Structure 1
Amino acid sequence: MSYLLVYFKDEDHSLHFAVSPDGYTFTDVNGGTAVLSGRDIAEQKGIRDPHISRGPDGAFYIAMTDLHIYAQREGLRDTEWQRPADKWGWGNNRALIFMKSYDLIHWTHHIVRIDKLFPETTNIGTAWAPETIYDPARRRMMVYYTTHDFAQTDHMVYSYADPDFTTLTDVPKSLFTYPKAGINTIDGDITKVGDKYHLFYVAHDKPGHLRQAISTSINGGYAYDPTPVDPEKVGTEAPTLWRRAGTSTYVLMYDVFGAKPNNMGFSETTDFVHFRNLGRFNDPGSPMKTTNFTGPKHGAVIAVSPAETKRLLDYFR
């Protein structure tokens, strides 16, 4: 089994792929250059927060934030944000990007304007960090993301995509309620482990940034646990969980945005109580390495076959 990492960079606000034969050393398939330019696929001419999953149909699903935080500086718009920050908040946006592929090379592409889909979302301030997971009860890909109305508190919601992954079909509903009012909760990541669903997320509270909540239901009932799960002493976000193939070991990866320069951090667990710090990419003593790229942000990892890896590498050779 091989592994595929999807990520973006602040420098280009575009989509990148890297592959690994062992889940430890990753090589960018395009020599550190984006595989898809954010300027070509996003309403705001930039993407962030790519997430990839594989559905029961064998297809790959990528969901991304449609947002460029440096668009004014790069001459892509006249204002800092699409709408005034005093009303709509920092980094405001209204769109997600959905892509679907059966070979990791040819992709469908749709810009999904949340505010135009449902009257209930007219006042949406943000649509950030979308992820997908298959819901066997609904037989659909569930899409969950961070949002707020106007410039209010960030929280996580879920909806469902149509079979072709072109839009959302359900009014978004709350995914998880934090016990303290006014605390931003963002960047949810759900993985089914055994008969339970593990939600990792960011809480802008103390102590710690990354938390875990567990439920027997995919779209609700997540029990709050105050225990921090990452070892970092600086800011972290974008937790994502993946399993080392053929083992009971899971890797929790997170964006250490507080590091200078930013980097990805990693911890391993087998019981979801104890997390062993693996360090960051290319840190002394860390088993996690990159060979031809630096500065990855807000990514996700899935298992792929060696044949799928070879096809990607051959295509971008």
Structure 2
Amino acid sequence: MKRLFTYILLLFASAIISCKASKSVYMFTSFHEPANEGLRLLYSYDAIHWTDLNRTFIKPEAGEAKIMRDPSIAQGPDGVYHLVWTTGWKDDKGIGYASSKDLIHWSAQQHLNVMEYEPTAVNAWAPELFYDDEAGRFIIVWASTVPNRFAKGQEDENNNHRLYYTTTADFKTFAPTKLFLDPGFSVIDAEIVKRGKNDYILVMKDNTRPNRNILVAFSNNPLGPYSNYTKRFTETYSEGPSMTKTGKNWFIYYDSYRLKRYGAMRTTDFKTFTDIADSISVPTGHKHGTIFKVTQKQLNLLLKDSVAVKTNQQ
């Protein structure tokens, strides 16, 4: 009986350890200006208080400028993490891409020339990854300016963005680039989030002057069309929105760059938005990232590797 009791205790302890190891942890991709150091990662257990792992995990090599802005990560069903990022401010028609099984060791970087078919395209900004689990493919959405093609507000013609996209199942072959969204105004920094079956939300920045703030729209398909645009619910000079859910609450983080801090809004219905900027804790220097989840086991590997890297640097 004693042996049986001991065995049951061991099974119970093992179950607790296993459960803890599989617990979800929020991760926030990040970069620091001037964007030449590479990918940084923050983590949180409540999606409110964030800690910087305080190192870079991949140094940018793709593109002529050799920078990494707006890093976006999404995990595929095979467990592989895929990363895309902005490789240049202007005169760059491509985006960066790399993959990893553990967020520590990364594949060779590629420069995907997603706008090469447009001879006058100015840029390819803030690519965002979304895994479409119903179609079994990744969707990459980014903002580009093609001068003299769309209606314009007060902004310069070379700053009149629309959203474009491509899809891929393996990051080896890509569907031809197509227009993703023309909302009738200059738009950048768009992220797709699935709220439920046939229920998708697009959070984005209205980049027209004088707006430059955040709103969302809705669709029953991740590729759109999107409609029912909300009011602009953040202060002006807001960009880089990223959305995540905890409990019944959706948090929309964004870079409030004029105030030189990170902002956040909370909502349950996408009709009423509550400013929670004074309640969040985001490390100084954090810039435009996206939020995804990992297990506690994966975070432990990142923490262990970060300690080893710092020790080797001393």
TM-score calculated relative to the size of structure 2: 0.80
Q: Is the 8 A contact 1:43 1:95 kept in 2?
A: no
> Of residues 29, 36, 40 in structure 2, which corresponds to 1:6?
29
Whole-angstrom distance in 2 between the partners of 1:65 and 1:162: 21
Q: Are residues 96 and 251 of structure 1, via their aligned partners in 2, closer, same or farther at CA, if it must alter by over 3 Å?
A: same
> Of residues 41, 60, 64 in structure 1, which corresponds to 2:81?
60
SS at the partner of 1:34? coil
Q: Any unmatched runs of 5+ in structure 2? A: 1-23, 148-157, 308-314
Q: Are residues 56 and 248 of structure 1, via their aligned partners in 2, closer, same or farther at CA, if it must alter by over 3 Å?
A: farther
**1:250 match:** 250
Alignment of 1:227-246 (within 5 A): 227-230=231-234, 232=235, 234-244=236-246
Q: Is the 8 A contact 2:239 2:257 kept in 1?
A: yes
Q: Which amino acid aligns with 1:186?
A: I
**Which range moved further: 189-198 or 8-17?**
8-17
**1:171 match:** 176
Listed one character per residue, the Cα deviations across residues 21-74 of structure 1 (whole Å, up to 9, x for unaligned) are 322222211x3x422223x4443111111111222222222110102x5xxxxx
SS at the partner of 2:66? coil
Q: Which amino acid aligns with 2:174?
A: T
* 1:304 corresponds to 2:294: yes
**1:264 match:** 262
More helix by share: 2
Q: Percent identity?
A: 24
Q: Any unmatched runs of 5+ in structure 1? A: 70-90, 280-285
Listed one character per residue, the Cα deviations across residues 127-158 of structure 1 (whole Å, up to 9, x for unaligned) are 11101112245421111110122536210011
SS at the partner of 2:298? helix
> Of residues 221, 225, 243 in structure 1, which corresponds to 2:225?
221
Whole-angstrom distance in 2 between the partners of 1:21 and 1:136: 25
Whole-angstrom distance in 2 between the partners of 1:173 and 1:266: 31
CA RMSD across the alignment: 2.0
**1:48 match:** 69
Q: Are residues 197 and 295 of structure 1, via their aligned partners in 2, closer, same or farther at CA, if it must alter by over 3 Å?
A: same
Whole-angstrom distance in 1 between the partners of 2:159 and 2:41: 34
Q: CA deviation at 1:237?
A: 0.7
Q: Is the 8 A contact 2:230 2:271 kept in 1?
A: no
**1:288 match:** 280
Structure with greater Cα Rg:
2
* 1:35 corresponds to 2:57: yes
Show structure 1 runs of 4+ deviating over 4 A. Answer: none
How many positions carry a matched residue from both structures?
A: 270
Alignment of 1:135-154 (within 5 A): 135-150=132-147, 151=158, 153-154=160-161
Whole-angstrom distance in 2 between the partners of 1:236 and 1:152: 16
